[in-house]
Amino acid sequence: MTATAPDAGLAEQFERTIARDQRVEPRDWMPEKFRATVIRQIAQHAHSEIIGMQPEGNWITRAPSLRRKAILLAKVQDEAGHGLYLYSACETLGADRTDLTERLITGRQKYSSIFNYPALTFADVGVIGWLVDGAAVCNQVPLCRSSYGPYARAMIRICKEESFHQRQGYELLMTMMSGTAGQRAMVQDAVDRWWWPVLMMFGPPDRESANTAQSMAWKIKRHTNDELRQRFVDMTVPQAEALGVTLPDPDLRWNPQRGAHDFGEVDWDEMKQVVAGNGPCNAERIAQRKAAHDGGAWVREAAAAHAAKKAGRERTVA
Q: Which residue in 71, 186, 275, 286 binds ligand BYC (CB under 6 A)? A: 275
- Half-sphere exposure of residue 168: CA atoms within 13 angstroms, side-chain side: 21
Rounded to a whole number of angstroms, the minimum distance from the CB of residue 133 to ligand BYC is 5
Within 69-108, which residues bind ligand BYC (CB under 6 A)?
79
Q: Which residue in 34, 85, 133, 263 binds ligand BYC (CB under 6 A)? A: 133
Residue with smaller CB distance to ligand BYC, 140 or 236: 140
Please tell me whether residue 166 binds ligand BYC under the rule CB under 6 A: no
DSSP letter, residue 211: S
Please tell me whether residue 282 binds ligand BYC under the rule CB under 6 A: no
b/e per residue 186-210 (b: at least 16 CB within 10 A): bbbbbbebbbbbbbbbbbbbeeebe
Contact partners, residue 316, CB within 8 Å, separation at least 6: none
Q: Which residue in 69, 97, 103, 110 binds ligand BYC (CB under 6 A)? A: 110
Residue with smaller CB distance to ligand BYC, 83 or 176: 83
121, 59 Cβ separation under 8 angstroms: no
Please tell me whether residue 197 binds ligand BYC under the rule CB under 6 A: no
Question: Given the rule CB under 6 A, which of 88-96, 186-194, 197-205, 251-259 is the region that contacts ligand BYC?
Answer: 197-205
Cα distance between residue 189 and residue 166, in whole Å: 19
Helix boundaries (H) for the chain: 8-19, 32-51, 53-57, 66-91, 97-105, 122-127, 133-140, 149-177, 181-200, 212-217, 225-243, 268-273, 282-295, 297-317
Please tell me whether residue 45 binds ligand BYC under the rule CB under 6 A: yes
Q: Which residue is nearest to ligand BYC (CB)?
A: 52
Residue with smaller CB distance to ligand BYC, 209 or 288: 209
Q: Which residue in 200, 243, 247, 286 binds ligand BYC (CB under 6 A)? A: 200
Question: Given the rule CB under 6 A, which of 97-105, 129-137, 183-191, 282-290 is the region that contacts ligand BYC?
Answer: 129-137
Rounded to a whole number of angstroms, the minimum distance from the CB of residue 50 to ligand BYC is 8
First and final C-alpha spacing in the chain:
29
Please tell me whether residue 52 binds ligand BYC under the rule CB under 6 A: yes
Question: Given the rule CB under 6 A, which of 1-9, 91-99, 118-126, 201-209 is the region that contacts ligand BYC?
Answer: 201-209
Contact partners, residue 94, CB within 8 Å, separation at least 6: 1, 2, 35
Rounded to a whole number of angstroms, the minimum distance from the CB of residue 242 to ligand BYC is 22
Residue with smaller CB distance to ligand BYC, 177 or 275: 275
By CB neighbour count within 10 A (0-12 exposed, 13-18 middle, 19+ buried), where does 4 fall? exposed
Closest CA to 35 of 14, 7, 9: 14
Contact partners, residue 277, CB within 8 Å, separation at least 6: 107, 283
Q: How many CB atoms lie within 10 A of CB 275?
A: 18
Where do contacts with ligand BYC occur on this chain (CB under 6 A)?
Answer: 40-41, 44-45, 48-49, 52, 79, 110, 112-113, 132-133, 136, 139-140, 200-204, 209-212, 215, 221, 225, 275
